[in-house]
Structure 1
Amino acid sequence: MTDATVYLLLGLSLLLAIVLPQVTRGIAISPPMVLVALGMLIGLLPLSGEVSLDPQDHRTLVTHVTELTVLVALMGVGLAIDRELQVRSWPSWRTWSPVWRLLLVAMPLTVLGVAVLGWWVAGLTPAVALLLGAVLSPTDPVLASDVQVGEPLTEDIDDPDGAEDDRPEEDDDIRFSLTAEAGLNDGLAFPFVHLALLMLAGGFGLADAGAWLGWDVLGKIVVGVGVGLAAGWLLGRQAFRARAATLRLAEHGEPMLALAALLVAYGAAELVGGYGFLAVFTCAMTLRASHRGHAYQRAMHGVVERLERLLTLLVLLVLGMAMTRGLLEHLDWRGIVVSLALLLVVRPAAGWIAVAVLPREERLDGGLDRGEMAAVAFFGVRGVGSLFYLAYAASHEHLPDEPWLWSTVAFTVIASVLLHGVTATPAMARLDARRGTASTKG
């Protein structure tokens, strides 16, 4: 394949990525589905001087590309969430009730469920089974746009009345819960990954368990969140309230601050040992809270969203190409059973238990009716985060059954893209219509 052909294919793919969200809106086909299919077709083309697409040959590259993709997605998610979280307000915390339930109940249950399947069905060692559960636990609503929030809700600074955008269909508890869950669980999967790596290294005893619980579970989370809060507060104050007008970037409309904030928060958190993923998401939310209604928020989100779309395009195209060039070579019935059980049984059951047991009242913010509970429980999309965690683990420790793990995780991501991509549009349309009918009657 010549360089000119590569440029042509990338250009056509990028054009397709730009057009797809508009073309597929309202139909049961998501842009990620088309991009993966296109990657599979490209992978079938005859190549001269083939380059290996085996992730085991490019662990470092896969780690960094997927890491950057997740970071950009987290920044975009944090800037997009409209629901405020006031640290000193208990009612504010309660409006986030579905998110806390999904993180504290559904995520550990998902890790446990997949680990048991990996040990019982696939015959993996306990450490590798736990790693598989940790790798497949984060959700990624970026790959199913119908179940995530859209652009930030801002005030139109050109409107003398300061009217707000009318976007009621996206300001609901389902989209908010799934988006916020994905923003936080991409960082909270790390303690489980570290635990699996410690078990793989051998000699994991009571003292190691205490150190893991005290530092990997609690310490790194606190440090990551603290760094994110500090970075977001400082950058927000500089952008919106700096004494010198030349330093108030919001007034000049320079949206690259979002990328600077991403890099600063992640780098600072990693330097002091915290979880950088949590720092980026927390930084984005704090930056958003600095001036929630300012149009600058939408400008920053727009830059991040475009970069996210480009990186996701790259990852999905390469994933599709790798599928038709040997990535699924080691997939067997065990991997298929584990993957489908996760998507159809483990996540829906764990999500349902999390949000349906002692639920918050439907009429309150953060309250879900039975249909909304089912949607939140079902739409746990697996995506780029799972690829990152597996690459990260493989870069830090020798993994038994690594080829099988790559095939199984890749199959799970593709199956999730197909399953949730097909069902998201009709399911959300039905719920939106029902909610609209209920509000009209009310």
Structure 2
Amino acid sequence: MEHLLVYIALLMLLYCLFSGRIGSWGITMPMVFLAIGVAFSFGGPVLTLASVGVFHNLAEITLALLLFADATVLRRQTLENIRQRTFRMLAFGLPCAIFLGAIINLLLLPSWPLWEACLLAALLAPTDAALGQSIQSNEYIPQALRDVINAESGLNDGLALPFVIFFAGLAIGGGEGDHSGTKLLPLIASQIGLGAFVGLAGGFAAGKLRNFVLRRNMMDQGLGKAVSLVLVGFIFFAADHVGGNSFIAVFIGGIAFANAVDGPVHHARHFLEGDGQFLAILSFFFIGMLFVPEAFNYLTMNDLLIVGISLFAVRPVAIWLSLIGTETTINERLFYGWFGPRGLATVLFAVFVVMDFEGVKNIDGIFTIVITAVLISAYAHGITAKYAPEIFKLKSRTKQDE
């Protein structure tokens, strides 16, 4: 095991040193480490409940750090510019994607129970903050479009989780009992409402308190960057403690913190993003090493068809419909619809279902489709991210009137 860790660390070091040149070829970090993980899977560790648990904890930490870091760029003026599009994509696009996905799943998987088809659709709906990094760093894409993608990917995984919990509960309960349909709205309301409240209150209070202690030179500057890291942990666990959605809380907390502090928060973002990227490398490596080989054992052509329709049709159609009536061009709608990569959130929620909802009949099929979707998405969205301005003919606009 020790020699394995040495090789992994060496590959991570080499990638970080040459990441700029590798990125210039249109090759992204998830593409690299998914492939490396698959290569290491030959004769490497096998999938066990313990390894699944380790990945679950790693993915939660990674996602929380990346969400908070991404949220800190959304200052007040940025939020004003993107509010309509982001709201439409979350409030209408996400439920529409789940609805359309469930219909496709029922048509292609007629033997599956209704709620398992809906569960699969909910798992494939959230998009990924880590895979979206290649879009965020592409300066040839107009900033307003990048901000919309950033805000949507930051919030939609938290919004998708109540649907995942609800459908998983129905799948094991047959649509009756504690997970009946009347529970969906209270579940969504508590997850979103409490999560947003904790994030808003925690981020705003921490930002104002930071201003207070800095003005009075009461904080050790060496620990300044650690404040944001500890704040992420506090908000994440506080939201979970009160029954709110931790990922929504962390993202809202990042927005509140960034808008409460005096001056820029680049130092906090860079610190968290560095830690988050390191953990993201490990997460995608483990996905490639533990989950991809297992998924290939069960993969069918029908599974590939479902993945293809989900990536190439379900989300693009859902986002297109959600943006009707907004001042978006055809190319912008196509851009928003295509760049919804599936990644850590999708795998994390699938692992959560495996660990906490025993009795889902087709869990092997669900997990296979989820992992295959993430694998294909990493390469399809990673390759096209570099060429997005040319593919979608994106041009900077003098005014992003929402």
Change (3 A) 1:283 1:434: closer
Equivalent residue number for residue 62 of structure 2 = 69
Equivalent residue number for residue 168 of structure 2 = 197
* C-alpha displacement of 1:211: 3.3
2:82/2:147 contact within 8 Å kept: no
* C-alpha displacement of 1:117: 2.1
Q: How does 1:384-423 map to 2 (within 5 A)?
A: 384-398=344-358, 399-423=360-384
Equivalent residue number for residue 267 of structure 1 = 237
1:228/1:280 contact within 8 Å kept: yes
Amino acid at match of 2:326: P
Change (3 A) 1:149 1:100: farther
Tell me how large the CA RMSD over aligned residues is. Answer: 2.5
- Following the alignment from structure 1 to structure 2, what is the Cα–Cα distance between the partners of residues 81 and 256? 21
- Following the alignment from structure 1 to structure 2, what is the Cα–Cα distance between the partners of residues 350 and 407? 24
- Following the alignment from structure 1 to structure 2, what is the Cα–Cα distance between the partners of residues 207 and 32? 36
Q: How does 1:284-295 map to 2 (within 5 A)?
A: 284-291=254-261, 293-294=263-264
* C-alpha displacement of 1:182: 0.8
* C-alpha displacement of 1:122: 2.1
- Following the alignment from structure 2 to structure 1, what is the Cα–Cα distance between the partners of residues 119 and 289? 26
Q: SS state of the match for residue 143, structure 1?
A: coil
- Following the alignment from structure 1 to structure 2, what is the Cα–Cα distance between the partners of residues 117 and 30? 30
Choose from 71, 79, 98 the match for 1:111: 98
- Following the alignment from structure 2 to structure 1, what is the Cα–Cα distance between the partners of residues 170 and 179? 13
Q: SS state of the match for residue 225, structure 2?
A: coil
1:23-46 residue CA offsets vs partner (Å, 9 max, x unmatched): 1334322222122112222223xx
Amino acid at match of 1:137: A
Equivalent residue number for residue 345 of structure 1 = 313
Q: How does 1:200-349 map to 2 (within 5 A)?
A: 200=171, 201-204=173-176, 208-213=180-185, 215-242=186-213, 245-248=216-219, 254-291=224-261, 293-294=263-264, 297-322=265-290, 325-349=293-317
- Following the alignment from structure 1 to structure 2, what is the Cα–Cα distance between the partners of residues 268 and 131? 27
Amino acid at match of 1:225: A
**Normalization by structure 2: what TM-score?**
0.90
1:28/1:421 contact within 8 Å kept: yes
Equivalent residue number for residue 78 of structure 1 = 71
2:166/2:179 contact within 8 Å kept: no
- Following the alignment from structure 1 to structure 2, what is the Cα–Cα distance between the partners of residues 243 and 369? 45
1:330/1:407 contact within 8 Å kept: yes
Equivalent residue number for residue 132 of structure 1 = 120
* C-alpha displacement of 1:243: 7.7
Amino acid at match of 1:15: L
- Following the alignment from structure 1 to structure 2, what is the Cα–Cα distance between the partners of residues 29 and 85? 29
Amino acid at match of 2:113: T
Equivalent residue number for residue 335 of structure 2 = 375
- Following the alignment from structure 2 to structure 1, what is the Cα–Cα distance between the partners of residues 84 and 93? 13
* C-alpha displacement of 1:337: 0.9
1:53/1:322 contact within 8 Å kept: yes
Equivalent residue number for residue 39 of structure 2 = 41
Between structure 1 and structure 2, the one with the greater Rg is 1
Higher helix share: 2
* C-alpha displacement of 1:220: 2.4
**Normalization by structure 1: what TM-score?**
0.82
- Following the alignment from structure 1 to structure 2, what is the Cα–Cα distance between the partners of residues 220 and 41? 39
- Point out where structure 1 has 5 or more consecutive residues left out of the alignment: 87-91, 151-167, 361-367
- Alignment coverage as a number of residue pairs: 395
Q: How does 1:149-188 map to 2 (within 5 A)?
A: 172-188=143-159
Choose from 319, 326, 337 the match for 1:359: 326
1:141/1:147 contact within 8 Å kept: no
Change (3 A) 1:39 1:292: farther
- Following the alignment from structure 2 to structure 1, what is the Cα–Cα distance between the partners of residues 60 and 179? 31
Q: SS state of the match for residue 365, structure 2?
A: helix
Change (3 A) 1:292 1:115: farther
Which deviates more, 397-406 or 372-381? Answer: 397-406
Amino acid at match of 1:193: V
Equivalent residue number for residue 134 of structure 2 = 146
Q: SS state of the match for residue 47, structure 2?
A: coil
* C-alpha displacement of 1:231: 0.4
